[in-house]
Chains A and B, each alone.
Chain A
Amino acid sequence: DGGITQSPKYLFRKEGQNVTLSCEQNLNHDAMYWYRQDPGQGLRLIYYSQIVNDFQKGDIAEGYSVSREKKESFPLTVTSAQKNPTAFYLCASRNLTGTGVNGYTFGSGTRLTVV
C-alpha cells in the first residue's frame, strides 16, 4: 500500500543536540511538507519542497533544516538553534500535477520531546 512513513514515532533529545526526523513516501507525489503542531494549536508550516533539490522556508523555518535529494524522502533536522523544539511534527505530501489542487496525505507524526 502507498503512503507516508514517519520515523520514529517518539523521540527524546537532550538540549543542545541536533536530531533528524525521517519522512518517506511511495506515492510518487511531487511536493512534500513539514508542519509543527503544539497543544491546542493548528499546524504551522516549517519547510516545503516541490521538486528534488529545491525547498522553501515556511512560516517558522528558524532552527530547522531540510534536504530533498530524492523524490521519496524529505528529512527534517531540528537543530540546537531551535529554542522550543518539543512538539508534534507532521510530514505531508501531495501531487501537483493534474487539475485542481489536491489535499495532503499525512504521515502518522513524530512526537519530539526535549529532556
Chain B
Amino acid sequence: QKEVEQNSGPLSVPEGAIASLNCTYSDRGSQSFFWYRQYSGKSPELIMSIYSNGDKEDGRFTAQLNKASQYVSLLIRDSQPSDSATYLCAVNMWDQAGTALIFGKGTTLSVSS
C-alpha cells in the first residue's frame, strides 16, 4: 500500500517563529520528495523538492530528508501570515505501470500576526 502520512493540524505559530511540518512515507524505494503549498480553493504550487539525504535550503524554507527513517520535513523560518496555507507532502512512487506522486492529506498552517 502506497501511503504518505502527515498530521492534519492545524499547526499554529506566531509571526517570526519557525514552523515545522513532518511527513512519513511507506515506500522504502522512493527517491524523490516534494512539498507543495495550497491556498484555499487554489491549485498546489511547488515550493521545495529534495532527492538526497540531508538538508536543502531555499530562502526561508529548508527541506530535510532521512530515507532510513522514511521521513521528510519542511521548516519555514521567520514565518509570515502569508505562509498560512495547507502544505502537502508528495512522494514519487513506482508501480508496475509507471510513476506518480502520492500526496499526504496536508497540514494546515496558521501564522498569527
A19 within 8 A of B: no
Interfacial chain A residues near B97, Cβ < 8 Å: 56-57
Q: Closest A residue to B94 by CB, please name it.
A: A101
Interfacial chain A residues near B4, Cβ < 8 Å: 42
Query: Among B34, B42, B103, which residue has its beta carbon within 8 angstroms of that of A42?
Result: B103
> With the chains together, A59 CA to B31 CA distance in Å?
20
Question: Would you list which residues of chain B between 26 and 54 have a CB under 8 Å from chain A?
Answer: 31-32, 34, 36, 42-46, 49, 51
| Closest Cβ–Cβ distance, residue A59 to chain B (whole Å) | 8
Contact status B43-A108, CB under 8 Å: yes
> With the chains together, A35 CA to B100 CA distance in Å?
11
Contact status A43-B44, CB under 8 Å: yes
Contact status B88-A42, CB under 8 Å: yes
Number of interface residues of B (CB under 8 A): 28
| Closest Cβ–Cβ distance, residue A75 to chain B (whole Å) | 18
Contact status B100-A45, CB under 8 Å: yes
Cβ proximity bits A58-86 to B, threshold 8 Å, 1 near / 0 not: 11000000000000000000000000000
Contact status A42-B106, CB under 8 Å: yes
Contact status A50-B51, CB under 8 Å: no
Are A45 and B43 also in contact (CB < 8 A) when A100-B51, A101-B31, A101-B92 are? no
Q: Closest B residue to A6 by CB, please name it.
A: B43
A2 within 8 A of B: no
Contact status A50-B98, CB under 8 Å: yes
Contact status A104-B8, CB under 8 Å: no
B99 within 8 A of A: yes
Contact status B46-A58, CB under 8 Å: no
| Closest Cβ–Cβ distance, residue B48 to chain A (whole Å) | 9
Are A103 and B103 also in contact (CB < 8 A) when A42-B88, A108-B43, A109-B43 are? no
Contact status B49-A90, CB under 8 Å: no
Q: Which residues of A contact B (CB under 8 A)?
A: 31, 33, 35, 40-45, 48, 50, 56-59, 90, 92, 96, 100-104, 106-109
A-B pairs, top 5 by smallest CB distance, nearest first, are: A101-B32, A56-B97, A42-B105, A106-B43, A43-B103
